Structure 1
Amino acid sequence: MTRAPHIPGVHTESASVPRTNTGLLAYLLAGLFFGVVLVKSEAASWYRIQEMFRFQSFHMYGLIGSAVLTGLVTTALLRRFGHTRGGERICVTPKEPGWRRYVLGGLIFGLGWGLAGVCPGPVFVLLGAGIWPMLVVLAFALLGTYLYGVLREKLPH
């Protein structure tokens, strides 16, 4: 039986049910749709990202703002009506108060984003579009993820 991966802050009230091929196909189609939206909205464009960091255009700030708004609405809906396809209730635990970890994490993320010219989401989209230098970005994103896993117990949370 395959169990869903644990997502910090989100848990179900009973055991996970195995995923079906139909469910995995739905995730694949949603990912493909998301990739097309990233490309068409120019969220994966290095030039748009540089415009944002240089305060030359509102385009990316509008995209990020709409993503934040969507996240707020969907999290509120999950907290109120959330359940899995199997009927299990989804519980979203509140975040711990404090600002340091968010500021430090945001600075590290923003530094990587500014240096690479792309955030982690569009890396696979850009690889799918044939932008092969993104393999370097992917390699370092995976290295950073690995290092976080190694150092996790020593980091403040």
Structure 2
Amino acid sequence: MSLFFKIPFDKKQIELAIESLELQTSAELRVYIERKKKNQHFSAFEQGLDYFNQLEMFKTEAKNGVLIYIAYKDQQCAIIGDQGIHQYVTEQFWQQQNRLMIDYFKQKKYNEGLINIIANISKELARYFPYQENDKNELDNEVIIK
């Protein structure tokens, strides 16, 4: 017997937001969503970093991959940017986006919050990693839901 849990995210809308981001910047973005953190001993950042490495997001040419990790039942999230991004985007920016996303989650506006955060990240990354005509999609845009 399989149990189906309805998640408060619209996968197609989120994937469209990722596609939109990748038309504005050469950076790559992935989203990983789970109900609760797999490892409760990890912080959201540590869990996200673990998935960042498992997904081999560090393999982009410009080291400009970003993972948004969400454990929505725990109301926790983390945004992990690769080393190429950290030389431009401040830790303050990532923390601000995390706080905004958690604020949305507290209001049960999961999908709206995530899409708005993706738009904010898109604007920031486009400043440092503008879209290039010969840009290729280095990472899958599919939202991972566990």
**TM-score, L = length of structure 1:** 0.28
Which is higher, the Rg of structure 1 or of structure 2? 1
Q: TM-score, normalised by structure 2?
A: 0.29
**Higher RCO (Cα < 8 Å, 6 or more apart):** 2
